[in-house]
Amino acid sequence: MRPNAVEPRASLHALAASTRWRTALASTVVGLAGLLVTHAATDGFSAYTLESARRLQALRAPAKVPALALELADGRHSSLHALHAPVLLVDFVYTRCDTYCSALGGVFTQLQQHLAAEIAAGAVRLVSLSFDPRHDTPAALSAYRARHRGDPAAWLLGRPAKAGDLPRWLDAFGVVVIPDELGGYAHNAAVHVVGPDRKLVAIHDLSDIDGVIARARQLSGSSRHAQLR
């Protein structure tokens, strides 16, 4: 009877060992798959967030922004491609926001001051685009600019001329906007640099004012001219 008693125990040990091996193998496969997905999603581990990934993308592979219709605060219709300044510094706001958008307004006030010579020469233009076109009428956009002491000749504000174009605007710049269920929005905040060929060439954090100024001057050629003097 003893051999018959041993055989079930041996079978159970073998089954347990086999189960542990299959579990370990599955865990390894899942782990490797996760690493591969993370590697792809973060651009080879160079970017650890979606925000840093979109900024890397702008630097490595500048993409042309679409020539979508834009209604400006003064009621005129235009597009980013039709604006005459070679370099555009673009942010996305909604005028009822008192957090990031207010901070961006302060940043644009400073940029307007620091880049006054480039703006006066027609080389750089500031552009704020609203992603809340239902509330951000031309009057609301003008009031937002006035709160931040913006010069209409230097700082344009606008909204999509067609509400249905908003997703294309956001997608072109990699901007994420999520309703916060309190009447407002959660969104990423940055200064987007659009070059003379209307490609998105860089995205700077709103705290990197020096970086934005240097990039704008480099693209507009003013820094090169200053060195030649």
Q: Give the pLDDT of residue 222.
A: 53
Q: In order of start, what are the domains of the chain with their CATH numbers?
A: 64-228 (3.40.30.10)
Token pair belonging to 85: 């300044």
Count of all residues that appear for the chain in the document: 229
Q: Give the pLDDT of residue 76.
A: 93
Smallest Cα–Cα separation from 97: which of 125, 74, 73, 131? Answer: 131
Token pair belonging to 37: 């997905």
Q: Give the pLDDT of residue 44.
A: 42
Q: Give the pLDDT of residue 206.
A: 87
62: alpha, beta or left? (left if phi > 0; alpha if psi -120 to 50)? beta
Walking along the chain (229 residues) 10 residues at a time, the average pLDDT comes out as: 43 43 38 37 47 82 91 94 94 86 86 96 96 94 93 95 91 90 84 96 93 96 46
